[in-house]
Amino acid sequence: MSPSTVNKIASSPVFDIRSDETKGFAKAPIEDELAGLQAVYNEKTLPNVLLYDAKGLQLFEKITYTNDYYLTGLEMDLLGEHADEMAEWIKDGAALVELGAGALRKTAILLDAIERQGKRITFYALDLDHSELTRTLAELEGRYRHITLCGLWGTYDDGRAWLASTNEEQRVLLWLGSSIGNLSRQEAKDFLHSFGRALRPGIDKFIVAMDSKYNAVSSMTRAYNDSEGVTASFALNLLDAFNAKVGFKALPPSSFCYSPFFNQAQGRNEAYLRARHGVRFEVNGIAVEVRDEELIRFAYSHKYDNAERDLLWRAAEANVEQEWLHSPQSGRARYSISLLSFRD
């Protein structure tokens, strides 16, 4: 491993694995975002990466503590009940890499199980926001005798490229929070397949958490529009990130409201910002007009039933080594954590 930069918070190193492209993202031309805003009425988009600046990550962590966001509770139930079984799959000397780590309170349940088994592993938390990465790693300082804590500062793509440089006995990827739902079903297949190509058949593993279509629609609706209004603040923070990139208040947050919609036919929550009134601005000679009541989409959260989950694994050329299911008695589990390996 030859990181270009190492930053220390307490004793946990943070390795800068960002590509030149990633490093230039904040200063990159705004044309891609503007192209999404030039689409026809109600087809406008903004990229969800704008959600995850330092403030956005803190707001999202707050969402996970709300009573309405049931996903965290279901996932923690599964980890609490089965973390020792999951840890059995992780070998002594392994590298455990969490994709989009964010807050580490759920991850700590699995790390605690590995610690109880006395395995010496290295845990790498991958995240794009350096300040949040160092903050969350610092919260685990001094907790483990056998586990070395490290950070990887970069994107998913940077993490996949970094994997090729590692030579640990085993590499285990961890993707919690049903983050896979943020991708379209085709994107999810492509994502898994691309990481699968970086993993060694029969040795390396990929642990993926996934929300289910079998939760009550009312629960899924509240999860993305909590009664405390935290999700709305998280959504509107995207506009602050966009405005910071443009350099002025092109899309004032006060001119928009958060307007989510649960699409039962597609099995997904769709997150929109609705214009309270018309907004016009111009950047680099590119004019943008958002009309009164027009929607700007910025995120999806897909849910999967049993058949769709199995189809996804097959399409990604993944083998299911073991699955842990929440409330599986009816055959309609509310949440799943799957341990995958990939074919040669």
pLDDT for 343: 85
Give DSSP secondary structure letters for 224-280: TS-TTSHHHHHHHHHHHHHHHHHTS-SS-GGGEEE--EEETTTTEEEEEEEESS-EE
Q: Quote the pTM value.
A: 0.92
82 shares a domain with 57: no
Give DSSP secondary structure letters for 288-331: EEE-TT-EEEEEEEE-B-HHHHHHHHHHTTEEEEEEEEES-TTS
Contact between 237 and 271 under an 8 Å Cβ cutoff? The reply is: no
In a domain, residue 234? The reply is yes
In a domain, residue 1? The reply is no
116 shares a domain with 171: yes
In a domain, residue 238? The reply is yes
In a domain, residue 127? The reply is yes
Identify the residue whose tokens are 């966009």.
Answer: 242
Rounded to the nearest 10 degrees, the angle between the axes of helix 70-88 and helix 105-116 is 20
pLDDT for 8: 40
Q: What is the identity of the amino acid at 161?
A: A
pLDDT for 26: 55
CATH number for the domain harbouring residue 179: 3.40.50.150
222 shares a domain with 210: no
What is the tally of structural domains in the chain? 2
179 shares a domain with 318: yes
321 shares a domain with 210: yes
Q: From first to last of its 344 residues, what are the pLDDT tens digits of the chain?
A: 434 434 444 469 999 999 988 776 555 568 889 999 999 999 999 999 999 988 999 999 999 999 999 999 999 999 999 999 999 999 999 999 999 988 899 999 999 999 999 999 999 999 988 988 999 999 999 999 999 999 999 999 999 999 988 889 999 999 999 999 999 999 999 999 999 999 999 999 999 999 999 999 999 999 999 999 999 999 999 999 999 999 999 999 999 999 999 999 999 999 999 999 999 999 988 999 999 999 999 999 999 999 999 999 999 999 999 999 998 888 899 999 999 999 87
In a domain, residue 137? The reply is yes
What 8-state DSSP symbol labels residue 180? G
**Structural domain of residue 244, as residue ranges?**
28-63+218-302
In a domain, residue 10? The reply is no
In a domain, residue 21? The reply is no
Identify the residue whose tokens are 């074919």.
Answer: 343
In a domain, residue 16? The reply is no
224 shares a domain with 79: no
pLDDT for 27: 52
284 shares a domain with 175: no
319 shares a domain with 288: no
> What token pair was written down for 269?
């929550």
Is 173 in a helix, a strand, or coil? strand
80 shares a domain with 40: no
Give DSSP secondary structure letters for 62-76: HHTTSTT-HHHHHHH
324 shares a domain with 245: no
323 shares a domain with 285: no
184 shares a domain with 125: yes
Q: What is the identity of the amino acid at 130?
A: H
